[in-house]
Amino acid sequence: MAIFRAAEVADFSDVELQEQLAKLRLELVENNGKVSAGGAPENAGRIREIRRTIARISTEQNKRRNA
Q: What is the pLDDT of residues 11-41, one digit of tens each?
A: 999 999 999 999 999 999 999 998 889 888 7
Report DSSP letters for 3-48, one per residue: ---HHHHHHS-HHHHHHHHHHHHHHHHHHHHHHHTTPPPSSHHHHH
Other CB atoms within a 10 A radius of the CB of residue 32 amount to: 14
Q: Tell me the C-alpha distance between 46 and 42, whole Å.
A: 8
Q: Taking the CA of residue 55 as centre, how many other CA atoms within 13 Å lie in the half-sphere pointing to its CB?
A: 6
Q: Indicate the pTM of the whole model.
A: 0.91
Domains of the chain plus CATH, in order, are 6-66 (1.10.287.310)
